[in-house]
Amino acid sequence: MDTQIPAAAQRSDSPTPYARRLLVAATAAALILNFIPGAEIAFYPLRLFATFVHEGGHALATILTGGSVESIALARDGSGVTLSRGGFLPLIYSAGYLGTAAIGALALLMSRRRGAGRRGSFIIAASVLVVTVLWVHPWTSLFGFIVGLGIGSFLLLAARFLNEPSAQFLTSFLAVQLCLNALFDVRDLLFMTTRTSMDNDAVFMAQAYGLWPWFWAATWAIAAMVILGATLRVYWRKT
């Protein structure tokens, strides 16, 4: 005979119709902002947040492979740089773009869980603040230090004062922004490696390990799409 499973006994990480609607709403909001005049003002802190995650990816890869991080700096134009010693360079060079995609994917999966909005905001806030305190030194990057404290403090306040649906939307929105930025950034990297001679992670990879900068940029672009495609499949599936 058929057995009905009580709602309380269902897996806590299974997606609900609300979670799916939330993802659609967060994605729509992120895309619509691109077409609103003056939206670049709203996107500016989001751009800085994505750069923060990008540089944090380099730093994390350095630490995990036995290296040491000297500092992280953010510039007002949204660019950033991580100074480090040692570690496994292929992973470190790759961890900026792929790290952004992976962290966005993890945040997206986290936002899928019931009651994860405030918890997600707190985890992201704590991560930003830890990176800021450890590696963004005010004497070398005062702007980056202020940005890190500002983003971390804002997300802590969101975790404390937003109701759960609003906090869950914020977590989903930030996850979508990271995922979109990962794709847009590797697209821009492909352009830079084929049309300009600007220094970037793909150029450094080619100088150290051969082949062409566009090859590494294309490899990272494909890997980012695979990460995000697999994440969406997991997010959307029924259990």
List pLDDT tens digits, range 16-68.
Answer: 556 666 666 666 766 666 666 666 677 788 889 989 999 999 999 999 999 99
| Position 14 pLDDT exceeds 80 | no
Is 192 domain-assigned?
A: no
Q: Specify the 3-state DSSP secondary structure of 199.
A: coil
Is 120 domain-assigned?
A: yes
As for how many domains the chain has, the answer is: 1
pLDDT at 72: 93
What CA–CA distances, in Å, run from 8 to 4, 5, 12, 14, 106? 12, 8, 8, 12, 24
pTM score, whole prediction: 0.81
Is 215 domain-assigned?
A: no
Is 4 domain-assigned?
A: no
Spatial distance between the Cα atoms of 64 and 217, rounded to a whole number of angstroms? 23
Q: Are 57 and 98 in contact (CB under 8 A)?
A: yes
pLDDT band at 13 (very low <50, low <70, confident <90, very high): very low
Is 145 domain-assigned?
A: yes
Is 36 domain-assigned?
A: yes
For residue 180, how many other CB atoms are within 10 A of its CB?
18
- Residue linked to tokens 């300009």: 196
Cα 101 → chain centroid: 6
DSSP annotation of 163: -
Is 205 domain-assigned?
A: no
pLDDT at 55: 92
For residue 176, how many other CB atoms are within 10 A of its CB?
23
Q: Which amino acid is at 48?
A: L
pLDDT band at 145 (very low <50, low <70, confident <90, very high): very high
Q: Are 109 and 234 in contact (CB under 8 A)?
A: yes
Range of the domain at 125: 15-183
Is 177 domain-assigned?
A: yes
